[in-house]
Amino acid sequence: MPWLVLAFLVWLVGYPLLVVAAEAFGIGSPGGGGPTTEAFRSFFTRADEWNAMWRTLWISVLSTLAAAAIGVPLGFLFERNEIPGRRLLGALVALPVALPPLVGVIAFLFLYGESGLAARGLQTLGLDVSWRLTGAWAILLVHAYSMYVYFYLFTRAGLSGQDGAAIEAAQSLGASRRQILFRVTLPRLRPALAGATLLTFMTSLGSFSAPYIFGGGFRVMTTQIVASKLNGELRMAYVETTMLALLAFTSLLLLRRIDPGLDLASGARGTPPARRRLHSRGARVAAAAGGWVLAGVLLLPHATLILMSLVPPNTWTVEAFPPILGLVNYGELLSSTERLRPALNSLWMAAAATLAAVVVGVMAARLSLRRGGLPGRALEAMMTLPWAIPGTVFALALAAAMSVNAPWVGRFVLVGTLWILPLAYLVRSLPLTGRSIFAGLRQLDPRLEEAAASLGAGSLRTVLQIVLPLLRPAVIAGAGLAFITMLGDFVTSIVLYTYDTRPISIEIQSSLRIQETGIAAAYGVLLMLLSAAAFIAWDDRAGGRL
Amino acid sequence: MTASGVSVRFDDVFKAFDDTVVLAGVSLTVEPGEIFALLGPSGSGKTTMLRLLAGFEQLDRGRLLIADEAVEHLPPARRGVGMLFQSYALFPHLSVAENVAFGLKVRGGSQEDPQARVAEMLELVRLSGFEQRRIAELSGGQQQRVALARALAPRPRVLLLDEPLSNLDPALREETRADLRRTVKQTGITTVLVTHEQEEAFELGERIGLLNEGGLEQVGGPAELYRDPASRFVATFVGRCSVLSGVVLERHGGDELTVRLESQPHAEPWLCRGDSGLRAGEQVDVCVRPEALELSTDGGSGLAGRIEAERFTGSNSFYTVRLASPRSDAGDGSAAGPAIEVAMPGTAASLSGACVVRQLAGEPPSVFAGASTESDP
């Protein structure tokens, strides 16, 4: 049984990567011909290819720094100070994490774009400004905006886990506040910051929506891959895919080294230090006002998105603010089955992928933890692998592997069918459900399963009556995250969708292309609402842990 | 209520984890209806024996028989073995009644009314009225009793108890111990118990198997283990005991022999009990129980020494005495503490307190580790 599950995972996760790498070398491609390094040679000699690789790297580094510069201070602000409305504001600040990247990106476009609300507003004020939100800085801005949340959440979690006694000990030894920050608090925050760095950097490396919408001629690896594929340069796309996968792997291995692991965790778990109270009334008012302004700035793009969705087609031309608002776009969206279809597609595909990922996750986790050894580790590695690999890479890998009919080597023509997108979503859901199911199962007393067995219960019964009910919080947490992520997926969809399976994100993109901004915004709002609903339901069930 | 028990047999059972041998050819028969305690330090293999019997581990060699039927190839669900886990392993999402009923529903088929059986079991463990409680609402002692009821409900052929009292606080342990024995005896089921506490093994077990490093050191009743330990390990693991090196001087009738203590060549030889195979001139360890020794200050024929430490435990006082070396005078002042004499009255009554075991090669040389005795109030 473990071998069967492992074989399935290897086929789904590892094999497509091998196929894409092989085809980059011209091995096993339908066109025939012997192995060749020609495509790699041209990759290494073409400046645009090198540039894309280099840009991917520095954009990721700068995005991580920018996200840290925003997220860490915010984390300190909300975790260490008692400011009015702390709980609500603290949650609002974390909101962008629950929203699909594409929604954030188009919201940015509507707000800060060339003809966005901000530009129009300034022009109305008589300021002759014009800018183009495009290129590297635009990408960085969007990345910083959407990824600071990782640093924010990790910092808060790290701070809340620190023992206040350590700070008191430093104080009693005569340390100043500055010394305490740099010699006690920050060093012990290192595991949390390392985790956030890893997450942000890897997310940025695989980021597609922002470079795709705002990049213009500025290409990073993900957009370069998709462009090569669209241009029919398949071999080059495979080479780029292989290189991006290697870059991701190398980055992961290097970044793991900055994580000090648990060595710095204190043995005793104390209570975090008390939050600082603001004593003067003025300071409290200022803090509250500052907090709300901050939340306003952070939520402004999404508010703009909602506003845009209310603008009927062709009613807003030169005015600073849309003259007419209405629900026309929503009416259009909900009344036509063709318009509604992408929403239904996204819903069923995300649900099917999530369900499958839960089933595979539970099976893999049980087998892995029970068997241990090499098959156990291999099972866990296969479940985690898609996390380290950008979505574009997997999309291309699946496109390469599943476009040939050769069942004897495990290749089937799935590209262009109903199955390819749910399958791709499944691959990307595996690490999300797997992570939480593995963690949940590790916390479960293995004696419970033995007790059930000694009472005569078979394997299936033990899973259904004992394991699954006890694993429910972990399953819901992982499944919720996977469902929300897949609902808004753009990066895999753009490579693999068919007209019949087009998801919301693709519909948003094509509406934008034909200048149906109202419809695009309405889809965005719909996606936002669906995600928020799933997030709230999930947060509720998962006991509020992120 | 009383069921006729079945026998359990380990036949040359061998088990290793990776390169570590945990059981090196253990053979043991547990009689029908018996409560058998596997006692030993951690890592001695006792829990592995229990888990092999339950089917959670597979043996590498040997046979495992329940009621003379080989079970080593049966999955846990089909062995008819009930287990009380150290952590109880109660299902936290099920109520008390649902926990107890779990094994009944799973087996199904029987004509017995599960509800009646649950009620019967809860009555047996004195938890009637707790049917709808959640596990988290119960105290540790109550959880232990629910776990016992759950294990017994499907009428297993053998009951396994894995450190059943270790999760209870000491005050509750004594009370629960008696309770557990009464309940298990009432059902008449063959029971194998694992513990690392001698007191628990002695009070619950009718017979005890003492395990050390993957082998059985000795199997016998509590009194036998205490009075006639088969090895120095048994003597020191079961109860308090001081160990001295000696040489057998002379064999008397039966199991009596006189031993000269090596460190005290001029002192009067001690009358001890020992294996009939021991011959005169053989090197032995003399294991002496504290209650067999007498301390006095009136200069009798005992061994001279000085009190190094005293530990008062309430009903007893324990003294650590350093014996004077034969070449120096006891009053020589090098050791602090009041002078004292340790005597082992050579009467028949004291024979239960001192016995002789063969000295094994490789064991460190024995020294007088400390004599202790009851204080005279």
Q: Mapping DSSP to helix (H, G, I), strand (E, B) and coil, where does residue A406 land?
A: strand
Test mutation, A444, A449, A454, A465, chain B, max B CBs within 10 A: A454
Q: Which two tokens stand for residue B211?
A: 């395990």
How far is it, in rounded angstroms, from Cα B62 to Cα B50?
Answer: 15
Given the structure tokens 């709980």, which residue do they identify? A87
- In total, chain B counts a number of residues equal to 377
pLDDT band at A140 (very low <50, low <70, confident <90, very high): very high
Residues 6+ apart with CB under 8 A from B16: B22, B60
**8 Å CB contact between B89 and A447:** yes
Chain segment B348-359, per-residue pLDDT in tens: 434 445 676 666
pLDDT of residue A417: 86
Query: Of the candidates B107, B99, B102, which has an alpha carbon nearest to the alpha carbon of residue B157?
Result: B107
Are A453 and B81 an interchain contact pair (Cβ–Cβ within 8 Å)?
no
CB pairs under 8 A between A and B: 64
Test mutation, B83, B110, B112, chain A, max A CBs within 10 A: B83
Query: Of the candidates B86, B90, B54, which has an alpha carbon nearest to the alpha carbon of residue B195?
Result: B86
DSSP secondary structure code for residue A466 in this structure? I
Q: Choose the closest CB to B89 out of A450, A457, A461.
A: A450
How far is it, in rounded angstroms, from Cα A410 to Cα A416?
Answer: 18
CA dihedral A149, A153, A158, A159 (to 10 degrees): 100
Are A451 and B77 an interchain contact pair (Cβ–Cβ within 8 Å)?
no
Give one DSSP letter per residue of A25-55, joined into a string. TTSS-TT------HHHHHHHH-HHHHHHHHH
Residue A455: its chain B contacts at CB < 8 A? 77, 82, 102-103, 106, 150-151, 154
**Quick one: closest CA in A to B106, which residue?**
A457
Rg (CA), chain B: 25
pLDDT of residue A32: 58
AA identity, residue B318: F
Query: Of the candidates B258, B232, B256, which has an alpha carbon nearest to the alpha carbon of residue B247?
Result: B258
Are B82 and A455 an interchain contact pair (Cβ–Cβ within 8 Å)?
yes
Chain segment B91-100, per-residue pLDDT in tens: 988 999 999 9
Chain segment A321-375, per-residue pLDDT in tens: 888 888 899 998 888 888 889 999 999 999 999 999 999 999 999 888 888 788 8
Output the pTM of the full model: 0.78
Are A458 and B87 an interchain contact pair (Cβ–Cβ within 8 Å)?
no
Nearest-CA distance B83 → chain A (Å)? 7
Are B75 and A452 an interchain contact pair (Cβ–Cβ within 8 Å)?
no
Q: Which two tokens stand for residue A314?
A: 């062709």
Chain segment B317-333, per-residue pLDDT in tens: 888 888 777 654 444 44
Nearest-CA distance B209 → chain A (Å)? 24
Residue B78: its chain A contacts at CB < 8 A? 456
Distances in Å between the Cα of B250 and the Cα atoms of B229, B243, B269, B282 are 20, 20, 10, 10
Residue B56: its chain A contacts at CB < 8 A? 450, 453
Are A450 and B81 an interchain contact pair (Cβ–Cβ within 8 Å)?
no
> What are the phi and psi torsion angles at B187 (to 5°)?
-85, -20
Nearest-CA distance B177 → chain A (Å)? 22
pLDDT band at A38 (very low <50, low <70, confident <90, very high): confident
Q: Choose the closest CB to A447 out of B85, B92, B106.
A: B85
Are B89 and A451 an interchain contact pair (Cβ–Cβ within 8 Å)?
yes
Given the structure tokens 């033990």, which residue do they identify? A462
Chain segment A198-215, per-residue pLDDT in tens: 889 999 999 999 999 888
Q: Choose the closest CB to A454 out of B54, B86, B92.
A: B54
Q: Say if residue B375's pLDDT is above 60.
A: no
Are A455 and B93 an interchain contact pair (Cβ–Cβ within 8 Å)?
no
Give one DSSP letter per residue of A269-299, joined into a string. --PPPPPEEP-SHHHHHHHHHHHHHHHHHHH
Stronger pLDDT, A262 or A217, i.e. the higher one: A217
**8 Å CB contact between A102 and A209:** yes
Chain segment A81-109, per-residue pLDDT in tens: 887 788 888 888 887 777 788 888 889 88
pLDDT band at B3 (very low <50, low <70, confident <90, very high): low
pLDDT of residue B331: 45
What is the enclosing helix (H) or strand (E) of A82? strand A81-82
Among A16-20, A477-481, B286-290, name the most confident range. Answer: A16-20
Residues 6+ apart with CB under 8 A from A136: A55, A59, A218
Average pLDDT for A306-318: 87
**Quick one: closest CA in B to A444, which residue?**
B89
How far is it, in rounded angstroms, from Cα B37 to Cα A477?
Answer: 45
Average pLDDT for A137-147: 91
Are A456 and B106 an interchain contact pair (Cβ–Cβ within 8 Å)?
yes
Residue A373: its chain B contacts at CB < 8 A? none
Chain segment B45-84, per-residue pLDDT in tens: 999 999 999 998 999 999 999 999 999 999 888 888 999 9
Q: Which two tokens stand for residue B209?
A: 């198997």
Q: Percentage of chain B surpassing pLDDT 70?
A: 84
Residue A474: its chain B contacts at CB < 8 A? none
Average pLDDT for A311-315: 86
> What are the phi and psi torsion angles at B69 (to 5°)?
-115, 130
Test mutation, B86, B91, B98, B135, chain A, max A CBs within 10 A: B91
By a Cβ cutoff of 8 Å, what residues of chain B touch chain A? 54-56, 75-79, 81-83, 85-87, 89-93, 102-103, 106-107, 150-151, 154
Q: Which two tokens stand for residue B47?
A: 């829990």
The CB-based long-range contact list for A282-286 (8 Å cut-off, 24+ gap) reads A284/A83, A284/A84
pLDDT of residue A318: 76
How many CA within 13 A on the CB side of residue A530?
Answer: 23
Are A453 and B75 an interchain contact pair (Cβ–Cβ within 8 Å)?
yes
Given the structure tokens 């109270």, which residue do they identify? A277
pLDDT of residue A357: 95
pLDDT of residue B110: 61
